[in-house]
Structure 1
Amino acid sequence: MALEISKVELHVKENNKEHRTDDVTVKRLMVRRGQNFKITLKTNRQFQPDTDTLIFTAETGPKPSEEKGTRCVFGYPKLTGAKKAWTALVQESGRSSMTLAISSPADASVGSYNLYMREGSHTTPQSITNMVLLFNPWCTEDWVHLPEEAERQEYVMAEEGIIYRGSADRIGPLAWNFGQFEEDMVDICMKLLDMNPKCLRDPAEDFSARCNPIYVGRVVSAMINANGDRGILAGRWQTPYSGGVAPTKWSSSVDILRRWYKSYYSPVKYGQCWVFAGVMCTVLRCLGIPCRVVSNFQSAHDTDKSLTIDEYYTDQGVRPKESHDSVWNFHVWVEGWMKRPDLSGDSTYDGWQVLDPTPQEQSSGVFCCGPCPVKAVLEGHTDLKYDIPFVFAEVNADQVIWMLMRDGSKHRLHTDSSQIGQKISTKAVGAYRREDITASYKYPEVSKKERLVFEEAVRRGNEHKPRPELPLNPPALKLEITDEKESITGQDLELSLLLHSEHLQELSVQINAQAMRYTGVPDSLVYREEKDVLLQPKQDLKISIRIPFSLYGTKMCWTTAV
């Protein structure tokens, strides 16, 4: 008597719980690669492994192909000559049912799969289910495997978090709802992958490449912004925010992703760096790639890979608006956890990778950044993939101050190697507090090791460019500006300027206060004062400064820092 299968039980609730996706749904099968899930077949008689055969087919993408790894035929007993891929093993077998454990390989493409089955004597397969396959940080063979359970709970499972903003001396937490387990998030994230230009050009190749978290991370980085594709967020760094939502009004990725999906993939207005990063963290965690949001204070934007940030001032002490390089009060990106066997035969560059979805500079013609190994940034290995010179400059560039002379020439005043990249921050594991991870990006400032790494970064990344000039001798005059009291919006600013000289000096001191966006773009002058002073040798001179709110308040932008 031929074996007949009357019913297939998917054990969705149990399987999803085992695969830690039951917070998403218990209505459809959603599993992680490299890990068993079970199905039970109701049969007309007991399965006989000597004579009976079950043949399964798993397919993903519009053009499934065994050659590209998007189609796999497997069976029980194991098919002769079948490649190491999906597997089916019997867990229990009875007179009228059998339970099988099915597993995908740990390097299967993530995405939506159709699973078919037929009994060996039949030629027509029957559809079992449409299921979702995700990355698996719990699987040791998966490239995104994260060893510590506490970190998996934080960087994959946590739906709430903190994004840090402000300035190095005033870091402020912003509560953010990632919401990656909202039931519609998986479909939205899969659609995001489907809408990327690489998929639209060659879907067969794109679906095949979705086995690789390096590829997926780079695609997501490009699709979070809407520059050059049908991405999620349009960026805007100045008012007005007409036709959209001001970036500071967002506090959740969920609303943004739903708006994009429901608008048939029109960009949501508007985002800035922390919004881009928050949304990307949601997408990566949803797909199963461990992810955390990282904030860098005094963050450099180096446009020419020189690893220096050039700031220009007039002889009146005012910064003109024209400048390619800039220093942002803060900048926010994400880190994704994955192996990097494309860079090294060992685990040298495995671990946290910078992925930055904010559209700053193009990478291979696309507005994306990363994945960039944090370990490569630490050691100055700027000749590796991807975008390491740009990230290295963000956290460790030298800042060069120039004076623009009236005849058009420029004079280098000072080089500072310690101001860029301060208090690099992320939310601590299992706690609502800030964790400083600066040491994972660079060695202590002004240390010998830090300078050696900088020279290594210059050598590796700028072989055909002139080497940055060495720092000048210590300046003859030292200046320091400090707060006399805490600066509170709506009140006058009370500051002090401290001057110190090794020699007797008679000076005319020009004090200018200039508004500036958090991205480092200078705005108009709000305060100006000039004083003649006599500095005694080796003594400090303090000048008190008061800037009335009536002068600077009109320049405050209530949706970005100034």
Structure 2
Amino acid sequence: MTTQAASGCSATVDELPCERPAKVNSSPKIMNRPGNRTRATAQATYVNNLRTNFTNNFINRRALSGETGFAESCCKVEFVELYKSENAKRHYTDQYELSEESLILRRGFKFFIALRTNRPFDSDRDEIRIFMEFGPKPLVAKGTKAVMIAGPGETAESNNGRWDAVVTNASENDVIIEIASPPNCQIGIWRCSIATGLIENKRAVSVKKVEDDIYMLLNPWHENDLVYLSNDDERNEYVLNDVGKVWMGSYKEPKGRRWVFGQFEDVVLPCTILLLELSDLPHEDRGNPILLARAISAVVNDADEGGLVIGRWDGDYSDGTSPYAWTGSLPIMEEYMRTGEPVAYAQCWVFSALTVTICRALGLPCRTTTNYVSAHDTNSSLTVDKYFDYRGEEIVGGPDGSCHDSCWNFHVWNDVWMSRPDLPRGYGGWQIIDATPQEMSESMMRCGPASVEAVRKGQVGFLYDTPFVFSEVNADVCHFKEDPQSHWGFSRSRTNQYHVGRRIITKMVGADDDNGDSDMWDVTGFYKSAEGSREERMAVFNAVRGTDRAHALYDFPAEGQEDVFFDLVEIDKIHFGQPFDLTVNIENRSNEVRNIDAVLTSDSIFYTGVTVHRLKRAEGHFQMEPHSSQILRCQVLPEEYESKLVDHSLIKIHAIATVSQTRQTWSEEDDFPLIKPPLDIKVDGRTAVGEPCTATFSFTNPLNRPLTNCTIRLEGPGLQYPKFLKTSDVDPNGEFSYTESFHPRRPGDRKFVATFSSDQLADISGSATVTVESP
């Protein structure tokens, strides 16, 4: 069966406008004016609709009283059964908590409904029309409205993107109808109504509205959906997994942190639909995953349309919640739905985790991806430029105050899976979107989807925002030092080992590690070729050719004489409370004496690379004999850094040196996080649905001072709703321990996730797997 035009069914009272008709002036002179002709046409339309309305009311009243020639035998729908549980299992949506009260479907799959009628259905005499409507102004021409005549048949078939319905069984007063939705229909809440009448009369005399919400989702199980993902393990990971990890730390020590995505929780789907209503995406375009993903990257942040969360990076979260205190998406969405206001606060990993929740809730395969040493190129030059004065201090904003390029210690974005029919063949698959508000894209704070393959090849001309993403993973970092002998006041110093896009990490499919990071997957090779390889340089130059501002910066002058070798020793792992050393190895490889000026500094930084506090600075001038070696070392003690650390306890070390005889300049930098103790979680006793259980959260304070203003946040899908608690102070080098009681709600393997914070030490986190038995 095929979709029929909407004009075949007369309007009912609920479909007509209700405003009072305007008074019409019949003066010919006035009526001949164009504006009044328009008003007259509108008036005529209104009168015709009003007449139809009165006629329908009359016929319906007569039908109910049995005073027409045909109504007494007309079939009327008294009740509609949506088979919510059965359809949910067929559509892989039975994990949604709302599936018990709403029909949750995946587009392209067939579903069943049943009608209870006032008398047995007769296919030779009775007609059933099913209306599916989407958005505030549903129209057949825009694909937001479908009208189906449900006749007898074996199975419904969606052909050419059209809805279809057939009556598969009619027994006494029960009618079973199978409906097929197209695999490209719009995503969101659809409304259903059912009209019945007699075939020979061609007029509906009874309309039954289905009051329940009908959610339509993307379908990665359907090969004709653009988000089709053929591998079961990948679908389980990127669509159905409701607890995962977001990687932070540094490229030398990536640290995965648990996050409860919770896409099946009761508040998530309504919140997601509400956010889409705030976007600028027209309802008729909400079947296109390319545009959906772009809209999601905008509405997660509050920059333009009052979206979900507010970003903040200055370390002051006193009027909200610190980004590192969240354990999952659910408490953020609950607060948003309660208050109707954007929630404070978020940073990139929170934006990314929320994006996973929304995408997976809608059926769009999604993962968090962390790029270590992520460039933020503010002037589309494909380079990150930093300037230093003659003392080795960074000049914020550069010589003219307009250069604000930066390298984030790490940056977390999202990859979503889809075909890209708008790009040449071969550029589908993983696409990068980024909800962290960094740069405007088409007048809004959003980014992507940018094809991962386009980024790898340097194809910066492809939609969307590919040049910005390419810079994040492959920009060149250029250091410039103040130089009075240079014609423009600065000379470029070479950076040896501080490459952008040092490592790109996501969670491994099917792997799960509560106590470590064996579930980490290094996917750098998918985004860029090996650093310094011919393929990597070709991608850079390919991108440079497509970016006007990059031409001059990549046409560097030849290097001067460089016969002194410098090496800043990278710091791999320092535990909180331990001292660390800044070390530079220097070798004079020339046959002459060399005079060297050197500066070593260490600073606490935000993960965005912004300097917060100076920890220590050392400088010196010394002479090196030919073919000699020397080690510069500066030690930083715990008491010199403990009170000056900020989010993530990140420290940047920087070294800069100049050789007097040759004017050789060199600079290098490195950053690393201090390692914090894990939060241990132990669950005691048998865990079964509805039975009381206890979980204990503990860790050892690594500091020689007390921890004050202590709080703990915890949650677990199917175990414990999000909870925030204040706890007692922790003694110097003492043990923290807290026990929570809970009653599991759903069986299976469940995750407990918790974070501890205090004024002196924050972002102590942990997770544990709990196997819940059926009652």
TM-score bracket relative to the smaller structure: over 0.9
- Correspondence 1:356 to 2:434: yes
1:493 touches 1:547 (CA, 8 Å); kept in 2? Answer: yes
Deviation at 1:424, TM superposition (A): 0.2
Give the secondary structure class of the aligned counterpart of 1:461. coil
> In structure 2, how many angstroms separate the alpha carbons of the residues matched to 1:183 and 1:290?
20
What secondary structure is seen at the aligned counterpart in 2 of 1:279?
A: helix
Give the AA of the match of 2:351: F
Which segment is superposed worse, 47-56 or 288-297? 47-56
> Structure 1 pair 355/412, CA: closer, same or farther in 2 (3 Å)?
same
The CA distance in 2 between the partners of 1:513 and 1:140, in whole Å, is 54
Q: 1:434 to 1:137 in 2, by over 3 A?
A: same
Going from structure 1 to structure 2, the CA distance change for 1:411 and 1:180 (only over 3 Å counts) comes to: same
- 525, 529, 536: which is aligned to 1:450? 536
Moved more, 459-468 or 26-35: 459-468
Determine the structure 1 residue equivalent to 2:422: 342
For 1:103, the equivalent position in structure 2 comes to: 180
* Cα displacement string for residues 326-345 of structure 1 (whole angstroms, at most 9, x for unaligned residues): 0011000111111111123x
Compute the RMSD of aligned alpha carbons. Answer: 2.4
Quote the Cα distance in structure 1 between the aligned partners of 2:613 and 2:427.
Answer: 44
CA contact (8 A) 1:497 1:544 kept: yes
Offset at residue 126 of structure 1 (A): 1.1
- Whether the 8 Å contact between 2:382 and 2:550 is mirrored in structure 1 is no
Letter of the structure 1 residue corresponding to residue 588 of structure 2: S
1:164-183 alignment runs, 5 A limit: 164-183=247-266
Amino acid at match of 1:477: V
**Preserved CA contact (<8 Å) 1:417 1:446:** no
Shifted more, 335-344 versus 387-396: the winner is 335-344
Mapped partners of 2:572, 2:346: distance in 1: 33
Cα distance in 2 for residues equivalent to 1:318 and 1:359 = 29
- Cα distance between partner residues in 2 of 1:84 and 1:522: 55
Separation in 1 of the partners of 2:575 and 2:450?
Answer: 38
Say whether the 8 Å CA contact 2:585–2:629 is kept in structure 1. Answer: yes
Q: 1:497 aligned to 2:584? A: yes
Contact 1:247 1:559 in 2 (8 A): no
Q: Following TM superposition, by how much is the alpha carbon of 1:21 offset from its aligned partner in structure 2, in angstroms?
A: 1.6
Stretch moving more, 294-303 or 15-24: 15-24
**Identity between Structure 1 and Structure 2 (%):** 33
| More deviation, 255-264/1-10 | 1-10
The one-letter code matched in structure 1 to 2:650 is A
Counterparts in 2 of 1:485 and 1:466: CA distance versus 1, 3 Å:
closer
Q: How far apart are the structure 2 equivalents of 1:84 and 1:76?
A: 17
Structure 1 residue 54 displacement after superposition: 1.8
Residue-by-residue CA offset, 1:159-199 (whole Å, 9 max, x unaligned): 10000001111211111000110012100100011122x26
Answering whether residue 138 of structure 2 is matched by residue 60 of structure 1, we say: no
Counterpart selection for 2:473 from 365, 379, 395: 395
* Whole-angstrom distance in 2 between the partners of 1:487 and 1:387: 37
Which letter maps to 1:33? R
1:202 is matched with which residue?
none
Q: 2:588 & 2:473 partners in 1: Cα distance?
A: 31
Q: Which shows bigger deviation, 30-39 or 499-508?
A: 499-508
User: CA–CA distance in 2 between the matches of 1:547 and 1:130?
Assistant: 61
Which of residues 426, 435, 451 in structure 1 aligns to 2:506? 426
SS in 1 for 2:306: coil
Mapped contact 1:398–1:417 kept (Cα < 8 A): no
Distance 1:90 1:476 in 2: 86
User: Which residue number in structure 1 is paired with residue 453 of structure 2?
Assistant: 375
Residue 314 of structure 1 pairs with residue 389 of structure 2: yes
Amino acid at match of 1:270: Y
What corresponds to 1:544 in structure 2?
Answer: 633
Partner of 2:95: 23
Larger CA deviation: 220-229 vs 463-472? 463-472
CA, structure 1 residues 421+84, in 2 after alignment: closer, same or farther (shift >3 Å)? closer
Q: In 1, are the aligned partners of 2:565 and 2:589 still within 8 Å (CA)?
A: no
SS at 2:471's partner residue? helix
CA contact (8 A) 1:398 1:418 kept: no
Q: CA 1:467/1:36 → structure 2, altered by over 3 Å: closer, same or farther? A: same
Structure 1 residue 84: Cα displacement: 4.7
Cα offset for 1:406? 6.0
Aligned to 1:228: 304
Residue 145 of structure 2 is matched in structure 1 by: 71
Work out the CA distance in 1 between the residues paired with 2:530 and 2:489: 35
Instruction: Work out whether residues 418 and 445 of structure 1, in 8 Å CA contact, stay in contact via their aligned partners in 2.
Output: no
Aligned residue number for residue 508 of structure 1: 597
One-letter amino acid of the counterpart of residue 185, structure 1: V
Q: Given the alignment of the two structures, is residue 325 of structure 1 paired with residue 405 of structure 2, yes or no?
A: yes
Post-superposition Cα deviations, 1:435-484, rounded to whole Å, max 9, x if no partner, equal 01111101111111111111111112338953523485494333222257
The Cα offsets for residues 285-341 of structure 1, whole Å up to 9 and x where unpaired, read as 111111000000010000111111101112222213334100011000111111111
Equivalent in 365, 368, 375 of residue 300 of structure 1 = 375
Unaligned runs of 5+ in 1: 200-205
Give the secondary-structure state (helix, strand or coil) at the position aligned to 1:125.
strand
1:416 Cα deviation after fit: 5.5
Equivalent pair of 2:607/2:647 in contact (CA under 8 Å): no
Decide whether aligned partners of structure 1 residues 483 and 409 sit closer, same or farther in structure 2, where only a CA change above 3 A counts. Answer: closer
Query: Structure 2: which amino acid aligns with 1:487?
Result: I
SS in structure 1 opposite 2:642?
A: helix
Output the TM-score relative to the length of structure 1. Answer: 0.92
Q: Distance in 1 between matches of 2:111 and 2:133?
A: 17
C-alpha distance in 2, partners of 1:513/1:559? 16
Pick from 239, 243, 246 the counterpart of residue 315 of structure 2. Answer: 239
Equivalent position of 2:693 in the other structure: none
Distance in 2 of aligned mates of 1:449 and 1:287: 37
CA distance, structure 2, for counterparts of residue 554 and residue 137 of structure 1: 49
Aligned pairs for 1:123-202 (under 5 A) are 123-128=205-210, 129-196=212-279, 198=280
Classify the secondary structure of the residue corresponding to 2:276.
helix
Match of residue 619, structure 2, among 520, 526, 530:
530
For residue 416 of structure 2, what is the amino acid of its counterpart?
G
Q: Match for 1:15: what amino acid?
A: N
Aligned to 1:411: 491
Q: Please, which moves more after superposition, 142-151 or 310-319? A: 310-319
**Range with bigger deviation, 451-460 or 388-397:** 451-460
The answer to whether the 8 A contact 1:248-1:560 is kept is no
**In 1, distance between residues paired with 2:635 and 2:495?**
29
Give me the whole-angstrom Cα distance separating, in 1, the residues matched to 2:320 and 2:576.
26
Distance in 1 (alpha carbons) for counterparts of 2:277 and 2:472: 31
Tell which deviates more after alignment, 157-166 or 5-14: 5-14
SS at match of 2:604: strand
Q: Tell me the secondary structure at the aligned position of residue 538 of structure 2.
A: helix
The residue number in structure 1 matching 2:328 is 252
Query: 3-state SS of the aligned residue for 1:466?
Result: helix
1:34 counterpart residue number: 108
- Measured at CA, do residues 368 and 475 of structure 1 come closer, stay the same or move farther in structure 2, by a change above 3 Å? farther
- Asked whether the equivalents of residues 415 and 471 of structure 1 are also in contact (C-alpha less than 8 Å), the reply is no
Aligned residues: 550
Q: Is the 8 A contact 2:351 2:436 kept in 1?
A: yes
Deviation at 1:42, TM superposition (A): 3.1
Give the aligned residue type for 1:32.
R
| Residue in structure 1 matched with residue 194 of structure 2 by the alignment | 117
**CA distance change for structure 1 residues 44 and 229 in 2, over 3 Å: closer, same or farther?**
closer
**Bigger CA radius of gyration:** 2
CA pair 75-60 structure 1, distance change in 2 beyond 3 A: same
Instruction: Report the AA paired with residue 139 of structure 1.
Output: H
The answer on whether the counterparts of 2:506 and 2:521 sit within 8 Å (CA) in structure 1 is: yes
TM-score by length of 2: 0.68
CA contact (8 A) 2:603 2:615 kept: yes
The alignment partner of 2:95 has SS state of coil
Distance 2:287 2:470 in 1: 28
> 1:93-130, CA deviations, whole angstroms, 9 ceiling, x for partnerless residues?
43443322212111111111111112242344211343
Distance in 2 (alpha carbons) for counterparts of 1:300 and 1:537? 38
Q: 1:283 is matched by which residue type in structure 2?
A: I
Q: Kindly indicate whether the alpha-carbon contact (under 8 Å) linking 1:508 and 1:533 is maintained by their aligned counterparts in 2.
A: yes
